[in-house]
Structure 1
Amino acid sequence: MNENILLVIFAVIVLLIAVGIWMTIRKRRTDHLRDRFGDEYDRTLDNAGDRTKAERALEEREERVDALEIRSLTADEHTRFATEWRDVKAVFVDSPVEAVLHADRMLATMMKTVGYPMADFDRRYEDLTVNHRDVARHYREGHAIVDRHNDGSASTEEMRQGMKHYEALFDHLVADAEGGGVDGATTGTTTGGTTTTAPTTRATDLDGDGDADVVRQDTDGDGRADRVAVKND
């Protein structure tokens, strides 16, 4: 067989192997990003209009967040924010708009406190999606309602839903605070000098209709109310 033909065949084989390796690496990259970001992968792809561009943007988020020093709230910070959050919810019945706007500002402050950069909402949201995609979705939907309010198109019911979404992010931020989770989430009984912590259920009625809109319950028996069940009417 002609030597030139052999060289061409060899080159084609090498090219096919290279393409196969490239396709395998790309598939693994895509699978990793889809698994980590979930629906956010598709949302980013829709916005970018190009898979390579979208995946590069998601990888940049990963690199950016990996360089951050995210920490838990201290006990004092937890107490301060828990007190402020109770005040926000107390205001909601009489002034939903004021309460939700306050919650929006407060959550931005909390994120800065634990180590997220004090950037605009889009940056905070993107950083949150890297490790907490479900909570990030609540944050995005809550903030979208605030934007609709600023445009004059959000109803009181939407503001109530926005508060529920923000509640999910608040509970996430306080869940790992030093000295315990959500403030007031457990009760203790003392028997023979030993204090036993018992799981409790706490409900929050955001709109004053007598029904619990947000329920915190200790579902795993660790004595902390760290799960949120949101009632959707």
Structure 2
Amino acid sequence: MSPTQVIVIVLVVLVVVAALAVVLRRAARRRALQSRFGPEYDRVVAEQDSRSAAEQELRGRERRHAELTLTPLTPESQARYAAAWEELQIRFVDSPAETVSDADELVGRLIAERGYPTGEFDDQAAHLSVEHAQTLSHYRDAHEIRLRNERGEAETEELRQAVVHYRALFAELLGEDPVSSHTPEQHHSDTPPGDRPDATPTDRPHDATSR
């Protein structure tokens, strides 16, 4: 084998190794994004023209999130928000439509107090997705029901589900989940709470919120 052939083989090997390193690094970054963003990763991929564009969007979210100054709540603030949520659930039986709007406002105040920017829903969701991707789908579902509610198109059971969805993000943002996990009962429901798929063992037909 001539020296020239040896040099060519070495160069080919180096190119292959470099290409393999790029592929492995890209795969590792992809796994990291998938792990961090969970279902949000798939949603963004479906929205973008390509997987590369989606991953670029998600990395951009990480950079913007790193610029935020997020602060944990004080125990006093946690207690105040928890009490406000319990009161909100109690009001649901008599005023389900108004309660959904109140829940949206309460979650918005909590988001702002934690240090996240408020404004357009999509921008807000993008910031939240970096650390709260697992519960963000609940927030999106609640938002959609709230919009339907404003148009007078949401049924009472949908409104109850909206409160359940809001609670998922609300409790996570509180940090220590002091909020009751039980959901407001459907007003004048024909289905006993124990027979609903999402009912909890301590749901009681006579309670507004099963605290």
Pick the TM interval, shorter chain.
0.7 to 0.9
**Distance in 2, Cα, partners of 1:45 & 1:103:** 30
From the superposition, tell whether residues 12 and 207 of structure 1 become closer, same or farther in structure 2 (CA, over 3 Å).
same
The residue that corresponds to 1:49 in the other structure is 49
Task: Read off the aligned partner of 1:117 and give its amino acid letter.
Answer: P
Unaligned runs of 5+ in 2: 203-211
Shift of 1:100: 0.4
Q: Which structure would you say has the larger RCO, counting Cα contacts within 8 Å and 6 or more residues apart?
A: 2
The percent of aligned pairs where both chains have the same amino acid is 34
Match of 1:182 in 2: 178
Given the superposition, is the C-alpha separation of residues 216 and 147 from structure 1 closer, same or farther in structure 2, using an over 3 Å criterion? farther
**1:69 and 2:48 are equivalent in the alignment:** no
CA gap of 1:50–1:135, structure 2 versus 1, over 3 A, is same
Q: How many residues align?
A: 196
Q: Which runs of 4+ in 1 moved over 4 A?
A: 1-11, 212-217
1:206 aligns with 2:185: yes
Write the distance in 2 (CA, Å) between the matches of 1:174 and 1:31. Answer: 28
Q: Quote the offset at 1:4 in angstroms.
A: 6.8
Amino acid at match of 1:164: V
**CA distance in structure 2 between the aligned counterparts of 1:79 and 1:138, rounded to whole angstroms:** 23
Counterpart residue type for residue 60 of structure 1: G
Question: TM-score normalised to the size of structure 2?
Answer: 0.78
After superposition, the CA RMSD in angstroms is 2.8
Segments of structure 1 that go 5 or more residues without pairing to the other structure are 186-201, 218-233
Q: How far apart are residue 55 of structure 1 and its match?
A: 0.7
**Greater strand fraction, Structure 1 or Structure 2:** 1
**As a proportion of its length, which structure holds more helix?**
2
CA contact (8 A) 1:164 1:214 kept: no
Cα distance between partner residues in 1 of 2:201 and 2:77:
20
| Rounded Cα–Cα distance in structure 1 between residues aligned with 2:56 and 2:128 | 17
